[in-house]
Structure 1
Amino acid sequence: MQLKYLNIVAIGGGHGLGKVLNTFADLGANLTGIVATTDNGGSTGRLRENNQTIAWGDLRNCITHLAQSQLGSKLLNYRFDGGELDKHCLGNLIFFALEQLDVKPVEIMEIVRRLLKIESKLYPMTEQPTDLIGRFANQQIHGEVAIDNQNDMPDSLSLVDNVTAPSRALRAIFNANVVLLGPGSFLTSVMPALLVDDIYRAISESNAKVIFIDNLGVEHGTCQNTSLQSRLDWLQQLRPEMVIDGILSGADANDEGKVELKQAKPVTHIRAELSDAEVYYRHDEKKLRQALTELISSICHPH
């Protein structure tokens, strides 16, 4: 199958989404990333403590994955050491400063994209600040960091505010042939954008094929004791109208045999050896591209 003729939208957080964007960077303008903006830890969390701003860290991470300029990438990722700016990323500060100058987050991404000669598009899941809330039995846990520190899955997950998605992100979904979810932290990278009602509806109503890319390693914290089946069941309970057309997982994934979903359409599941030679829990880009090409081909053109 010729991937270059497809429009692909990838949804997730920093490292996992960055890997997918790298993998398909040659698609240029036919590739769009929609990035989680609910992080409240690290440099981004410190900026958000006293300011009404979105989380910039994952956007910065993703844009540096796509950057043609190595110096530009290093500059945005530069982390201060010591003093009042200790552990702050320069890119986060630049994006935050532009926002304080009344430049909207979508336009900030467009400015940086042009400066770094990036063809692919990158949008925040929302331009409005918001946080995650997890409901665990009889208590509510506020914020990504606290949710990640729990030992069990929440009963449900939502956003604090009723935020909206950028119109350009929604257009990208409606124009997409394929929507990729993950890899990345299930609750704090993959789920946040799907909690934006506009994005959920756009995916559900579009003609795009939806593919879930599972992590290669076991997640720490909240999802550490969950199977692929249980995570997908949890996703479908929260977002029942979104059909999963394909699943990609590692060859040795502990997904307990066949994954079955409660939906009208069958799901195509491919297991493949996807690990990077040096770091087993990271995807090798060539292997990831080959496996996704096979999966997309089988879903879009079934025999």
Structure 2
Amino acid sequence: MRAVALGGGHGLHATLTALRRITACVTAVVTVADDGGSSGRLRRELGLLPPGDLRQALAALAAAEDGGSLWAEVFQHRFGGNGALTGHAVGNLLLAGLFEVLGDPVAALDEARKLIGVSGRVLPMSPEPLEIEAEVSGLTDDGAVRTIRGQVAVATTPGRVRRIELRTPQRPGGAPRACAEAVDAVLGAEAVFLGPGSWFTSVLPHLLVPELHDALVRSEATKVVILNLIPQPGETAGFSPERHLDVLFQHAPDLRVDVVIADRGSVAAPARLSDAAAGLGARTLFADVADPKVAGSHDPDALAGCVREALELIGRRKS
């Protein structure tokens, strides 16, 4: 099965960890708007794509139950101390070097996956670093809507995020460009996955890149949305599961989805969620996919089983 997963950070890591239990033909399409931590430092100093979420996706596809390769472990190693390297992950530095030497982020990521033994592929959603801009209410007593910029600022805002847009700092006023290989992967996929993850900063940005949005709408693949287990403090504090789907529809009203996967224990009103999913053309699949040992994390084996069930369900409906 040719599967494509779109997202970033820990949420995409969860989806990829589940998908590699099902198929070796997995492509990750990763957000490139991070401006914090090691990624933000490298982005500001070198003007390159932020490598952190790309590194995490590579690591998820390289991971194995027997511990994986030494290179995969080194790739994730983060320097300590209090010098210039403090906080940098080895993989971030390696990707930054490959970006500069090869001058092509796709070629650089393909070389990195060979090094650490990844059978799938990792692609940026855009070949240029992007900036998230959000409309946020609740920051002042007068109820006014304010504009804030930057992934970290949006993810940690104490206000209520209403809507986001993408900016191109290297081409002010320009529309975000899609990675051509990512568009091809979506159009050639048999199954496409959105979520889980930071809704406004990792999931929705893919829908705001025009060519990628059009590919997602046109794709004949089975489309699956995997919901978060808990709202994210700041970014989606107070959001119900169905509110996540409402926001998705607001940002991409033409997108139709086949299945919404939700953890049974994380949904207070299953009927309301099913109604919201139906608005996207989807059926809701409730399952126990939370990791009982790690709060707020998906169990990869349970999620893989649920994905198989979702694909079988849609396969029977389409046949």
TM-score, L = length of structure 2: 0.88
User: Counterpart of 1:173?
Assistant: 186
For the pair 1:299 / 2:314, whether they are aligned, the reply is yes
Distance 1:112 1:266 in 2: 38
Distance 1:264 1:194 in 2: 17
SS of residue matched to 2:235: helix
- Choose which of 280, 284, 287 in structure 1 pairs with 2:299: 284
User: Counterpart of 1:44?
Assistant: 39
Deviations 1:270-301 (A, max 9, x none): 11111223113211111111111111211232
For the pair 1:188 / 2:195, whether they are aligned, the reply is no
TM-fit CA distance, 1:26: 4.8
For the pair 1:157 / 2:174, whether they are aligned, the reply is no
User: Counterpart of 2:255?
Assistant: 242
The 5-angstrom pairing of residues 182-261 of structure 1 reads 182-258=195-271, 259=273, 260-261=275-276
For the pair 1:15 / 2:10, whether they are aligned, the reply is yes
Distance 2:91 2:279 in 1: 44
Distance 1:130 1:70 in 2: 32
User: Counterpart of 1:148?
Assistant: 155
Q: Which runs of 4+ in 1 moved over 3 A?
A: 26-29, 261-266
Deviations 1:87-129 (A, max 9, x none): 1111111111222224311111100112222211110111101
The alpha-carbon distance between structure 1 residues 262 and 115, as it changes in their structure 2 partners (threshold 3 A), is closer
TM-fit CA distance, 1:59: 0.7
The alpha-carbon distance between structure 1 residues 193 and 264, as it changes in their structure 2 partners (threshold 3 A), is closer
TM-fit CA distance, 1:27: 5.2
SS of residue matched to 1:46: helix
> What letter matches 1:76 in structure 2?
F
Deviations 1:55-87 (A, max 9, x none): 110110111122264311221112111211111
Contact 2:161 2:236 in 1 (8 A): no
> What letter matches 1:170 in structure 2?
V
Distance 2:201 2:228 in 1: 13
The alpha-carbon distance between structure 1 residues 285 and 128, as it changes in their structure 2 partners (threshold 3 A), is same
The alpha-carbon distance between structure 1 residues 221 and 177, as it changes in their structure 2 partners (threshold 3 A), is same
Contact 2:255 2:280 in 1 (8 A): no
For the pair 1:35 / 2:30, whether they are aligned, the reply is yes
TM-fit CA distance, 1:204: 0.1
SS of residue matched to 1:154: strand
For the pair 1:58 / 2:71, whether they are aligned, the reply is no
SS of residue matched to 2:270: coil
Contact 1:12 1:34 in 2 (8 A): yes
Contact 1:144 1:188 in 2 (8 A): yes
SS of residue matched to 1:123: strand
Distance 1:95 1:254 in 2: 39
Number of aligned residue pairs: 298
TM-score, L = length of structure 1: 0.92
The alpha-carbon distance between structure 1 residues 255 and 34, as it changes in their structure 2 partners (threshold 3 A), is farther
Decide which moves more: 204-213 or 249-258. Answer: 249-258
Distance 1:32 1:120 in 2: 6
- Point out where structure 2 has 5 or more consecutive residues left out of the alignment: 137-143, 169-174
For the pair 1:108 / 2:108, whether they are aligned, the reply is yes
| Coordinate RMSD, CA, aligned | 1.9
The 5-angstrom pairing of residues 107-146 of structure 1 reads 107-136=107-136, 137-146=144-153
> What letter matches 2:51 in structure 1?
W
Percent of aligned pairs with the same amino acid? 30
Distance 1:207 1:286 in 2: 27
Distance 1:257 1:291 in 2: 17
Distance 2:147 2:280 in 1: 35
- Point out where structure 1 has 5 or more consecutive residues left out of the alignment: 1-5
